[in-house]
Structure 1
Amino acid sequence: MSEKAKVYFADFRCPSWRENLPQKLARLMMTAGFGDIDMEDKYVAIKMHFGEPGNMAYLRPNWAKVVADLVKDKGGKPFLTDCNTLYVGGRKNALDHMESAYVNGFTPYSTGCHIIIADGLKGNDEVAVPVTGGEYVKEAKIGRTVMDADVFVSLTHFKGHEQAGMGGTLKNIGMGCGSRAGKMELHNSGKPFVKQKKCVGCRACARICAHGAPQFGPDGKAVIDTDKCVGCARCLAICPKDAIQSLFDEAPAILNKKIAEYTKAVVDGRPCFHVSLVMDVSPNCDCHGENDVPIAPNVGMFASFDPVALDQACADAVTAQPAMPGSVLFDEGYDCDCGDLFHAAHPNTDWRTCLEHAEKLGLGTRAYELIKI
């Protein structure tokens, strides 16, 4: 039987003036061993989600400042990072992405460090990283800046997810660190397609494509020759009318296994540490431009060197909570008594698939010892 991983936990109680929540998170992290990582003169990536504009459930900049300050105390050079999105929204390119982060409060003055969008201006600055033992992904397409960092830290808002079932540490890393082409590989079993009503025949896609995949009919509108397309997603980034889109058609189980394999690509071979905050447990991802009523009460903060154990501990903590009255779980057709709040919110998903595959890949273990501080 494998040794249990240590997961450290602190609740959100601060009954005395002696300690506030940021200080409590810092104490949790240091107790969990964060201070044992050699960060002197090292570049330290802090991977988090800046929140889609309009969403109010994302982690506030105050939490990021705790992590950045601890890194600086250890002599490291921290920066906040995320990759651009595949879908149309406020974080599709680096300029919009950083503007969205600023609007949501993430500035060097509020966090104590800078933001670097990991896959560059148009989402195509990536590194092909081998996935040892990968069944679905042999080389993950990871944002270059993530791979350039000497130390990797994930700061996760633990929540539900409409496709993966659960948006935890593995989702934050595996999906979040993929470049635009990487995200397409994760989500899509096919190739991009053109929405004909939106296409204006500007041929920007043809100019950016190195393989001649965009073809044009008598009306001048583009179609994608999938035999020539290699799935780089550059056409999605360049289209001025957002006419080129990707099918989100990958089965949830395969998506979750790919997320685990992308996570392995990111964390292998360097010091890593993971923090997950179980609060504002929205049913959907922070990529939404809105957020619904949480499906469970706030629980606390968790930290571990093992991302698999961390996700399992957070999931167990949420599953042990009562369903939040007034949430989607009480809408007609939902089963809030099924014993798994994430599955109740998204019945076609199974978040366990990701953790099981991650354990198989050697990312960590689902067996853990919960240490409360």
Structure 2
Amino acid sequence: MEKSKVYYCDMHATGRMNLLEKLKFLMRKAGFEDIDFNDKFTAVKIHFGEPGNLAYLRPNYAKVVCDYIKELGGKAFLTDCNTLYVGGRKNALDHLDSAYTNGYNPFQTGVHTIIADGLKGTDEELVPINGEYVKEAKIGQAIMDADIVISLSHFKGHELTGFGGALKNLGMGCGSRAGKMEMHSAGKPTVNQDLCIGCGQCIKICAHDGPSITDHKATIDHNKCVGCGRCIGVCPKDAIQASMDEANDILNCKIAEYAKAVVDGRPCFHISLVIDVSPFCDCHSENDIAIVPDVGMFASFDPVALDQACADAVNKQPTIANSLLDKHGHDHHDHFTDVSPETNWKSCLEHAEKIGLGTREYELIEIE
């Protein structure tokens, strides 16, 4: 396969061009205007950041992307899907509150914010992919309704996948709550009896008679349960939980297959900002100091090449003193593995390449 082009610029700015102008310049050089945006609904997939975390991307960058789309005639909106875990983004109302608090509101970005999988994380489209691990991806409906998908990712470490970049932003990020359960779990949901109030919402949503209530507490019959995860979305007390038992390598492969479900059949473009490279995901309600200095901005039509280029760039950086990377040492000679030794970020890229999502071979083109 021919090498993919990945465009890069550093984070230096001058009076002639600030960082926001530099981002737009990078996008143009990378071929952004080759996409026909005219009257097209364009989903800009981003992580809004969990409340309390300050490493997430500033909304100023998202505004540049959305303004550029509108300038080219497109109908841009910012989007993400609800989280599987309990936090500030588990349903659309809390999610919008969190997004708006972190600056992702129409007054700051100039576009609307849409939670793609709806109020309770159950608005999804089933996308047949017949993958090795996933046969039918569960993707947030608004993302699948879009004509074009742009991923704007904060490139950082991750405690399960090694790092979070374009593929994780697309794969895990675009999965509905049931989709996230499928990626994280090899099994089926269970009920935390201490949290269950016996309301019966799980019984109403289930098409397979899996849940039942005894002594005001729900249980799920795994012989009937098909693992769709819709009960997770409707439970008002978050008593129904995924088992979170999937091996990290298989999790990475599922993420790659979900990412392919998102991008297949329509124009896509991918941007990653390798700044504030925190050791863990922006899903945390806190962030530790960055593990390496800021690197720059990267863009490509190929999300696999983009992630590979960003990972290579991070691994070339010196360690920031007193960061988790500094404290963990360099036994593995890879910054992400040194921070989270149980992870293997290469497994996601290898599988993504195997299923035709892109190539790990890239030509890095620096933009001055």
Contact 1:8 1:304 in 2 (8 A): yes
Q: Report how far residue 206 of structure 1 moved.
A: 1.9
What is the 5 A alignment of 1:152-163?
Answer: 152-163=149-160
Separation in 1, partners of 2:126, 2:234: 22
Query: What is the match of residue 367 of structure 1?
Result: 361
TM (norm. structure 2) is 0.98
Q: Report how far residue 50 of structure 1 moved.
A: 0.3
Separation in 1, partners of 2:326, 2:314: 17
Contact 1:323 1:336 in 2 (8 A): no
Offset from partner CA, 1:123-176 (integer Å, 9 cap, x none): 1111111215x1011111111111111111000000111111110100000000
The answer to whether 1:323 aligns with 2:319 is: yes
Match of 1:169 among 166, 169, 194: 166
Query: What is the match of residue 210 of structure 1?
Result: 207
Q: Report how far residue 99 of structure 1 moved.
A: 0.9
Q: Report how far residue 337 of structure 1 moved.
A: 4.9
Give the letter aligned to residue 232 of structure 1. C
Query: What is the match of residue 283 of structure 2?
Result: 287
Contact 1:319 1:341 in 2 (8 A): yes
Separation in 2, partners of 1:210, 1:4: 47
Secondary structure of 1:181's counterpart equals helix
Separation in 1, partners of 2:83, 2:223: 25
Match of 1:223 among 219, 224, 240: 219
Match of 1:25 among 23, 26, 51: 23
Contact 1:187 1:250 in 2 (8 A): yes
Give the letter aligned to residue 36 of structure 2. D
Separation in 1, partners of 2:264, 2:224: 33
Separation in 2, partners of 1:214, 1:140: 23
Separation in 2, partners of 1:242, 1:269: 35
Structure 1 segments unaligned to the other structure (5+ residues): none
CA RMSD of aligned residues (A): 1.1
The answer to whether 1:13 aligns with 2:12 is: yes
Q: Report how far residue 208 of structure 1 moved.
A: 2.5
Give the letter aligned to residue 12 of structure 2. R
Q: Report how far residue 329 of structure 1 moved.
A: 2.1
Structure 2 segments unaligned to the other structure (5+ residues): none
Query: What is the match of residue 340 of structure 2?
Result: 346
Give the letter aligned to residue 236 of structure 2. P
* Count of residue correspondences: 367
After superposing on structure 2, the runs of 4+ consecutive aligned residues of structure 1 that deviate more than 6 Å are: none
Match of 1:108 among 93, 106, 112: 106
Q: Report how far residue 199 of structure 1 moved.
A: 1.7
Separation in 1, partners of 2:54, 2:36: 35
Secondary structure of 2:283's counterpart equals coil
Q: Give the % identical residues.
A: 66
